[in-house]
Structure 1
Amino acid sequence: MSSSDAATRTAPSAGPEPAPVVDVEQAEAALVEHYPRLVRLGYLVLPPSLGRNRRVLTAHWLTQRTLPRGRTTVERAMVPAQRGAGRPGCDPGYGYVRLRVLRSALEAGVPLRRRAWPRRAQLPPLLPQVWGLRLFPRSGGADELALDQQLSALGGPARAAYVLRGLERLPDAEVRRILEGAGVADPHAALAEADGVAASYELLGSSEFDPCSLQARPPDLMRRRQHGRAALAAAAAALVCGTLLALPGDGLAPGGPAAPAHARNPAAEAALDPGKLTRAADGEWRSSARTDFSVWPARGSRTDDRELLGRALAVWARPGPSVQVSATPGTASGAPPGPAQLLYAGEVGRARVVVLYDGLRLVRYAEPRSGAGGGAALDFARVDGAGQAGSGAVVVSRGKGAVRYLTAPWVRTVAVRDLRDPGSPARELERAPDGVTGPLPAVAPSASRGASGCAEVAALELREEGGGTRLVTDLGELTPARLTSGRPQAPHEVEGEAARAAWARTACLLGAVRSNGVRSVNSWAYATQRLPEGNGTATWVCTRADTWRGAGSRVLAQFQAPGEETGAIAARAQDSPACGARDPRVLAGVLWKSRAGHWHVLAAGSKDVASIRVTGGAQGAARGHTLAAPARKGAQAQLTGRLANGKKVPALR
């Protein structure tokens, strides 16, 4: 037999390559690994007409329904091009679940027909269901609002094409192939329509479009209560109507105290009239007995734009499903009770912004400059009881990690300070004649992870007429939080390098109190302690964040070891009076390891703590307000402090 015959016999016969097979385990692994990415893709492709709450729940529902029932042959459109090892697109399992998510999201946007059974994706999600709450991603800036508006104007296939290009980084040829597999009739037209979106693909990674990082707010509580009462009334309608007809009285009769249901409400009508908005005079704050938001003059380039003001009032009264509504905890988001006060109307970055005040709440309305309608945002913040210290600035714009403020008329100059660097001089911040500042960095939500998560923590320094200086910082809400130092009974402004140095090792923990309606944050070094084995001296700091509503305060006890850039949280509490004006006492402990490798339980209380005892995983007692006791790694101990009169002081938990 010749060598050529041998080669012929041993060469494999050419034939069609078998289609890849994905089993349920492979699909599940891809789903778990890339779940946030898949949910974001579904959220972006779903029709915006569903509203943000339903889009969030539907995106999670569609993604969780993508697993096959068993071993499944992968369609050609599910098999991605091999674009480099380790990328999600190279995994057939990921390609399978991605196409299932995309196909279901596109089906959800198909209108219902009378003579056709609805597809499963067109129905409200069975699970997950959240009762009594509205869930939506965190609001972004003007760029994200503009992108959301442009995506809302696209059809479902074009949205899918744009998202596959930008989020998945796929070339057009592969996008067309995936769209064909998802049932899109004309992928070329979808790509052409997606070309009209001018926004950067980087915006798709914003928290604005992240349905896995959510804010929770209550729905319209008054409407929910009314619906509940209406259901109860409907169950007993015959009995109630018969009883009312038989009873004497004129409560609902003509001439009774209640007006007919169709009667006009002059106050409600005036609240929607931009011509009825109240405005403070320019210099009223100089002579007024009050120094708060009520004496802010109306500023901005669009204070006379009745169309813009009318849209802001109409959206406040009746926000549509495309409006992004957010409110600080404890803040009502209902319609204005009467004519509000205009504080600002102008253009900030790429948005038109209107700021209103009704005596209890600040309301910010923002819409893209390219036009009104979709993409608007409405934010509420409770500010009742705000004095001069609490009404120095309002956030008018937030986006791309930076914020802009509208400052009070009594603020003479503004500057930026890095709380992490107390010795550095303040940087002057540009401010427009209408009181709007230039951008400055926002405190990142990841700041609570420690020094590695926040290289800089920017604070706004407000220098007021009369010489006063206040330090405030953005915690993700409409009003910045005021920063103070000192004992809880007499906190003072953060002025001077010593006061700023006390804040330097606490600044990175500000992220732990974000989005809680915080009014002020006080940091107080309540004890110092000499560490065992000559390891230096540690500082114990209590940081208390008080809210506008009173409830919901957060208390953090920190252990600041020598040489560490950031304090470690030793204990925390919610709704506790500890470390506050009502109860300035505090006691906390930590399990600490010396440089020699020995473990100790360390504890410290405020100055009026006369003795401390530790029990459980460590044993020890000490007179005075500090304690150090030997312990083992992982020991669980209980602390108890006592005052000089014998009264117990519980440890902060």
Structure 2
Amino acid sequence: MQPQHVAPRPPSRSRLVNVKQAEAALVEHYPRLVRLAYLMLPSGLGRDRRVLTAHALTQRALPRGRASAPVIPAQSGGGEARDGDPGYSFVRLQVVRAALRADRPGTGARRSKRFSLPPLLPRVWGLRLVPRSGGAGELALDQQLSELSGPARAAYVLRGLERLPEDGVRKVLTAAGVADPVAAVREAAGVPAYDALLGSPEFDACALRARPTDLMRRRQHTKAALAAAAAVAVSGALLVLPGDGWGPDGAAAPLYAQNPAAQAALDPAQVTKVAPAAWKTAARTDFSVWPARGTLTGDSGLLRRALAVWARPGGSVRFSATPGTPSGGPAGPPQLLYAGEVDGARIVLFYDGLRVVRYAEPKNGEGPAALDLARVDGAGGAEAEAVVLTRAAANVRYLTAPWVTKAAERDLRKPVSGTMDLGPSDGVTSPLASPAQQTGACDAWNVLQLTDSSGTRLLTDLGELTPAHLTVGRPGAPREASGAQALQTWSPYACSLATARGQGVRTVNAWEFARQTLPGGTVPASWVCTRADTWRGGRPRVLAQFLPPGAPQGAVTAQAEDVPACGAKDPQALAGVLWKSAVGNWYLLAAGSEDTASIRASGGVNGSTRGRLLTVRAEPGARAELTGTLTNGKTVGGLR
């Protein structure tokens, strides 16, 4: 349904708005302005941070000081009492401008502090504030908005929520500093108009639910902070000034006390170096049988600096660790995997039985050192076949296991395309394009294809030290994603891997749990569940995705964290979506896995079916609750 616009008014000259006018408009329309900011901000911020940011940007929308400020003419179709109010037009413009700036990539110290997100205070410690959850329609819309550029997302919201005509949208975007407002409006037009969904509680950043943060992690961090404070207080008198520059300990923090066992772990002469052919006779192929490779394995100075920074990373060190990875130094002498020069940096890789550790320092001595830790306990097979050596621009270079015979680059979005050979040379691959920092349109998703004597497998870079292993098939019995049919299965869902970046992901499995013939059609749609399991065991990320016939990529209809669905211990799935047919009719479609005996929809849509496929006529924007009954009598809810 197209929005109804009031008759246009004659154009007027730009007016001035004073602080009192703007403040009155801000107070009167605060919930709407916060909703505008929330919808325009990128979904990658996360719901909690997005809420806080939306409130922060809205509250900063008043003119500075007591002087008047110029405002673009009020736009026709601006909505009821807000239409013609210069105060509202001004604060809306400020909110749009701030949201667009917040969406731009950071530029380090040059980025305006005014738009730092989120502000330190006010802050509710120990709580997460999130809007109420919506239905499949809201999830699908949020997914579509996340794929738009910042200006296009702003254009869509101004058109759908503010009811501005196209010319009015262009004027607001121009005033907000958008370089090409015409292109932004054109891009936004590619997303169907779901104006009713924009007013959903899902996007109301003023009606919030309070939820606790990670209680276990918070408790652990509190204990660690208290222990660290006590250690500093007791041993402060033993402070020894550090060496300078790239001296004996390089970028390591000051040494407060000496412990014989700890000192032994930091002795480069004690580092374990596995023989080059040890893996050939080993009972298990994992990191413990990787030989020490690289041209600097005998550089004791480099190894000493790497070990010292691992044990005591200084304030200048760029540090990262995958979620759930212990960050302390080595308990004993670690195993050396690599030491050499790659892409203008000296790189050292260690393994201590629990973690892979990467140390990097600039070859010319200019710039900070970097330390990255990744948990890899229990890794074997594909999970122990590659580690990131370097990242340069948009490329990544890997060190592969000694039993890997071939490495290649493949575009997961194009399953029938060929591969590009990456070597490797002494285990080091040529650089390949990484999707880890990919922004904008997802036209490609490049993965690492490795081959050894047991077969071929796919790994994908998710921005961490170890790549994630891709599989397909029913949970509990997955198979490699490198075959022709498996590549066809993954292709429409490759871009959804972006939601798992930085989560410490170990494996991602794609499971087609149902096919459903649509009303008026003959070619079935596909229902797929992708589950990203982590190295720490808990907090898996599950997405239900729907692929209509002819669609280039799947649409996320539901997402959940830390649930058993689609996993080996509970291999079942149930999901639904609102779908519009070619003749304009709306339906609720739902599908369950093969052990689903019946499905019932209630709430905004009512219907039921015996079997695992449900099709019910519905109204646009309707919200429904799904309940499934399994063949064993167990009741399950739909993913949401």
Fold-level similarity (TM above 0.5):
yes
* Candidates 393, 398, 420, aligned match of 1:400: 393
AA aligned to 1:456 is A
Residue 609 (str. 1) matches residue 593 (str. 2): no
CA distance in 1, matches of 2:624, 2:66: 51
Aligned to 1:457: 445
Residue 637 (str. 1) matches residue 624 (str. 2): yes
TM-score normalised by L of structure 2: 0.63
Residue 327 (str. 1) matches residue 321 (str. 2): yes
The structural deviation recorded for 1:273 is: 1.1
Aligned to 1:315: 309
Secondary structure, aligned partner of 2:296:
coil
AA aligned to 1:286 is K
TM-score normalised by L of structure 1: 0.62
Secondary structure, aligned partner of 2:384:
coil
Cα pair distance change 1:496/1:231, threshold 3 Å: closer
Cα pair distance change 1:644/1:455, threshold 3 Å: same
Cα pair distance change 1:352/1:401, threshold 3 Å: same
Aligned to 1:439: 431
CA distance in 1, matches of 2:61, 2:579: 47
Secondary structure, aligned partner of 1:461:
strand
- Contact kept in structure 1, 2:406 and 2:423, CA below 8 Å: no
CA distance in 2, matches of 1:612, 1:228: 56
Cα pair distance change 1:27/1:362, threshold 3 Å: farther
Aligned to 2:172: none
Cα pair distance change 1:445/1:642, threshold 3 Å: farther
CA distance in 1, matches of 2:403, 2:435: 25
**Aligned residue pairs, count:** 443
Aligned to 1:53: none
Cα pair distance change 1:227/1:344, threshold 3 Å: closer
- Contact kept in structure 2, 1:545 and 1:554, CA below 8 Å: yes
Cα pair distance change 1:596/1:382, threshold 3 Å: same
Unaligned runs of 5+ in 2: 1-15, 24-32, 38-52, 70-96, 102-108, 111-118, 128-213, 235-255
* Candidates 371, 374, 383, aligned match of 1:381: 374
AA aligned to 1:480 is P
Secondary structure, aligned partner of 2:313:
coil
Aligned to 2:610: 623
Aligned to 2:200: none
CA distance in 1, matches of 2:626, 2:291: 54
The structural deviation recorded for 1:129 is: 7.2
The structural deviation recorded for 1:69 is: 3.3
Residue 414 (str. 1) matches residue 407 (str. 2): yes
The structural deviation recorded for 1:68 is: 4.2
Residue by residue over 1:23-76, the C-alpha shift from the partner in whole angstroms, topping out at 9 and shown as x without a partner, is: 879999xxx9xx9xxxxxxxxxxxxxxxxxxxxx9xx99x98998433399xxx
CA distance in 1, matches of 2:233, 2:303: 40
CA distance in 1, matches of 2:232, 2:356: 34
- Contact kept in structure 2, 1:23 and 1:72, CA below 8 Å: yes
CA distance in 2, matches of 1:455, 1:380: 31
The structural deviation recorded for 1:467 is: 3.9
AA aligned to 1:438 is S
AA aligned to 1:365 is Y
Aligned to 2:196: none
AA aligned to 1:551 is G
- Contact kept in structure 1, 2:388 and 2:398, CA below 8 Å: yes
Larger Rg belongs to: 1
Cα pair distance change 1:401/1:304, threshold 3 Å: same
* Candidates 65, 71, 87, aligned match of 1:69: 65
Secondary structure, aligned partner of 1:581:
coil
AA aligned to 1:392 is E
* Candidates 253, 260, 275, aligned match of 1:266: 260
Aligned to 2:330: 336
- Contact kept in structure 2, 1:526 and 1:541, CA below 8 Å: yes
Secondary structure, aligned partner of 2:381:
coil
**Bigger relative contact order, structure 1 or 2 (CA pairs below 8 A, ≥6 apart):** 2
Cα pair distance change 1:605/1:126, threshold 3 Å: closer
- Contact kept in structure 2, 1:267 and 1:339, CA below 8 Å: no
Residue 580 (str. 1) matches residue 572 (str. 2): no
Cα pair distance change 1:27/1:400, threshold 3 Å: farther
Map 1:179-198 → 2, pairs under 5 A: none
The structural deviation recorded for 1:533 is: 2.0
Aligned to 1:169: none
Map 1:131-170 → 2, pairs under 5 A: none
Aligned to 1:302: 296
The structural deviation recorded for 1:404 is: 0.5
AA aligned to 2:576 is G
Unaligned runs of 5+ in 1: 1-20, 36-56, 74-92, 98-104, 107-124, 134-215, 234-261
Aligned to 1:522: 509
AA aligned to 1:650 is G
Aligned to 1:536: 523
Aligned to 2:422: 429
* Candidates 589, 595, 599, aligned match of 2:586: 599
Cα pair distance change 1:385/1:444, threshold 3 Å: closer
Map 1:5-404 → 2, pairs under 5 A: 68-71=64-67, 127=121, 223-226=224-227, 265-371=259-365, 374-404=367-397
Residue by residue over 1:109-157, the C-alpha shift from the partner in whole angstroms, topping out at 9 and shown as x without a partner, is: xxxxxxxxxxxxxxxx974779799xxxxxxxxxxxxxxxxxxxxxxxx
CA distance in 1, matches of 2:386, 2:22: 51
Aligned to 1:183: none
AA aligned to 2:605 is A
The structural deviation recorded for 1:305 is: 1.1
AA aligned to 1:441 is A
CA distance in 2, matches of 1:314, 1:519: 28
